[in-house]
Amino acid sequence: MTIASHPAAELFPFMSSEELAELAADIRTYGLLEPIVLLDGLVLDGRNRLRACAAAGVKPSFVEWDGSGDPALWVISKNLKRRHLSTSQRAMVAAKLLGYYAGEAKERQGRRTDLVANLPLSEDSTAEPRKARDHAARDLNVSARTVEHAATVIERGIPELAAAVERGEVAVSAAAEATQLEAEDQLRVVHLVEAGASGAEAIREVKRPHVANNTGDNEWYTPPEFIEAARLVMGSIDLDPASSEVANRTVGAERIYTAADDGLALGWAGRVWMNPPYEKGLIDRFAEKLCDEVKAGVVSEAVVLVNNATDTRWFSTLCEVATMLCFPTGRIRFYKPDGERGAPLQGQAVLYIGSQRKAFASTFKRFGIVAEVVNG
């Protein structure tokens, strides 16, 4: 059974899957002890109980809300007594409460002018946001500063980041800091947290500079064994679109584009080796350019070496045309012209585009895990 929720009910997050399973088991054993409360046909209180009843195969019971005053304050009072929420989770409730009352006040302004009566979170007719924030902080037993962090997460963060705070996985202060990142990097923060990192650790990792590319003033070059493997698979390398004269002494491409050439504005063709610039925005354009040239039929094969940032848009773009993947064991130690070896901050991936799947697998399996890419 599916019943829409009242806006006030959405102030609080859903239970985790583990908590919901425990509630469903309890209902299956003892029945639904507290009925689901409806207001105007919408679930005001009991969204989790309704889901748990469905999981337990128990028919839910309903009652109409007979309270007076504001339903949102009633929901808060009910849930704060029985939900064990962290400070960050309560702050998110407080921040959403601000939006809820702002909407209620706007709706009722046409009917009444005394905003004191219409906006419970404010004490004067100006309904200053600061006072609303302070009242929400008091009602949820958190600091005003924490409410500001939560409001920032809701306003500027991606939905996945806000959801991670609501699940109690990321501290709201760390999430507010993460909203300064691009949406793609916010998602990386969420994924790192899901993998076991703390919010602060995830943000530090995402903010770290990535391994430099093989062009530019601070040049780092690919170890020759990977170049040789790429040449074995493709037969030869016709083009390196992100290179330099020094880098090509190892790559040995028939044609190269340097930073001065602006390879993104030139045509690509044949068998391509690419270790693209990792600068944000630029790597996306190189990935899209390669994808377009492959789809146009002018690039017949390509081997691409990049960071294994599987949660990024550009990695997904490359996978659209890739046929094979290799995840090297350990991190590839790139080197400088003077022979100094680097210590990269994350692992890498090698993507192959072309029909020589067996050749790629047999050649690159010595570096690590090799897998076929299956695109729908």
Whether 61 and 125 map to the same domain: the answer is yes
Could you tell me if residue 216 is inside a domain? no
Q: CB atoms < 10 A from the CB of 232, how many?
A: 14
**Domain around 56:** 7-207
Orientation of helix 144-156 relative to helix 159-166, angle to 10°: 140
Is 218 inside a domain boundary?
A: no
Q: What's the rounded Cα separation, in Å, for the pair 97 and 107?
A: 15
Which of 207, 233, 249 is the C-terminal boundary of a domain?
207
Looking only at the bridges linking them, the beta strands covering 324-328 and 368-372 are antiparallel
214 in a structural domain: no
Which of 173, 207, 241 delimits the end of a domain? 207
Query: Residue 282's domain is classified under what CATH number?
Result: 3.40.50
- Quick check: is 252 in a domain? yes
Same domain (yes/no): 12, 130 = yes
237, 90: one domain: no
Query: With contact defined as beta carbons under 8 Å apart, do 178 and 136 qualify?
Result: no
Residues 242 and 117 in one domain: no
Q: Are residues 107 and 236 in the same domain?
A: no
The structural domain count of the chain equals 2
Are residues 62 and 118 located together in one domain of the fold?
yes
Q: Helices 17-30 and 47-56 meet at what angle, rounded to 10?
A: 70
164 and 276 together in one domain: no
Does residue 151 share a domain with residue 13? yes
> Do 271 and 340 fall into the same domain?
yes
User: 119 — alpha (psi -120 to 50), left (phi > 0) or beta?
Assistant: beta
* Residue 280 domain-assigned (yes or no): yes
In a shared domain, residues 264 and 182: no
Interhelix angle 183-194/159-166, nearest 10 degrees: 30
Q: In this structure, are 258 and 321 located in the same domain? A: yes
pLDDT, one tens digit for every residue, the chain (376 residues): 678 888 888 888 888 788 889 999 999 999 999 999 999 899 988 888 999 999 999 999 999 998 777 888 888 878 776 777 889 998 998 898 886 655 554 554 544 333 333 334 334 434 456 777 887 888 788 999 999 999 999 999 999 999 999 988 899 999 999 999 988 888 888 888 887 788 888 888 777 654 433 433 345 567 888 999 999 999 999 999 998 887 888 899 999 998 888 889 999 999 999 998 877 678 899 999 999 999 999 999 999 999 888 888 899 999 999 999 999 988 776 655 555 555 555 788 999 999 999 999 999 999 999 999 998 6
Shared-domain flag, residues 163 and 54: yes
